[in-house]
Copies of this chain bind each other. A is one copy, B any other.
Amino acid sequence: MAIIEAAMEEFVARGFAATRLDDVAKRAGVAKGTLYLHFKDKESMFEELIRTALVPLISRMSAPPPIGGSVRDAVERFAETFILEIASTRRGDIIRLIVAEGPRFPAIADFYFREVVSKGLAGMRALIELAIARGEIRENKLAQFPQLLVAPAIVAVIWQSLFARHAPLDAIAMFKVHLDLIFGERRTT
């Protein structure tokens, strides 16, 4: 749907309040009235968009449980995907948008917490516990704070949208160092 894409662009670039529906319509190549055939009003358009935008994130999150190789490899592949497909792209702006508008749209913060954050953290915690059981991770208190595992990814997202211009950040290299801290220095075959 062209409208959804157009609205996403505008909301990401200007935030909720400063986005004009005239601009969304123009970008989508429809008349303003058409928007109201699909959405009740600006606010529900915004909320539905954020929800929609998350569907791909969610499917990634609940993706492959790592039966095969080491937990570290699984986490590393996961993080690479996340950074390449989210932190370095338009989708990262969605996360920034949620941080920006969340407090003013409790419904969005709630939804995001329920559907993404709590599930994602639970998944991370499971991974961490598995790694501890296997002896890949020593620090067993890490399972209490799965946020620590993903913190650099969040920071990468923020960095890209605010400071990439001033100082580009090699998010993947950073994340590998982070994993070295957690799993111990990688064995150089």
Task: Please give the residue numbers on chain A whose beta carbons come within 8 Å of chain B beta carbons, in ascending order.
Answer: 13-18, 96, 98-104, 109-110, 112-113, 117-118, 138-139, 141-142, 144-145, 147-148, 150-152, 154-155, 158-159, 161-163, 166-167, 169, 173-174, 177-178, 180-182, 185
Q: How many copies does the complex hold?
A: 2
Query: Among B102, B138, B155, B177, which residue has its beta carbon within 8 angstroms of that of A154?
Result: B155
* A15 to B11 Cα, complex, angstroms: 14
Q: Known: A142-B177, A144-B177. Contact between A15 and B162, CB under 8 A? A: no
Q: Which residues in B have their C-beta under 8 angstroms from that of A145? A: 173-174, 177-178
Q: Which residues in B have their C-beta under 8 angstroms from that of A141? A: 177, 180
Q: Known: A99-B162, A101-B100, A154-B155. Contact between A177 and B139, CB under 8 A? A: yes
Query: Among B18, B139, B178, which residue has its beta carbon within 8 angstroms of that of A148?
Result: B178
Q: Known: A151-B152, A155-B147. Contact between A109 and B163, CB under 8 A? A: yes
CB distance from A146 to the nearest CB of B (A): 10
Query: Among B98, B148, B163, B174, which residue has its beta carbon within 8 angstroms of that of A181?
Result: B148
Q: Which residues in B have their C-beta under 8 angstroms from that of A142? A: 177, 181
Is A117 a contact of B180 with CB atoms below 8 Å? no
Q: Which residues in B have their C-beta under 8 angstroms from that of A112? A: 162
Query: Among B161, B166, B169, which residue has its beta carbon within 8 angstroms of that of A110?
Result: B166
CB distance from A164 to the nearest CB of B (A): 10
* A138 to B166 Cα, complex, angstroms: 29
Q: Known: A144-B177, A169-B147. Contact between A162 and B109, CB under 8 A? A: yes
* A96 to B97 Cα, complex, angstroms: 11
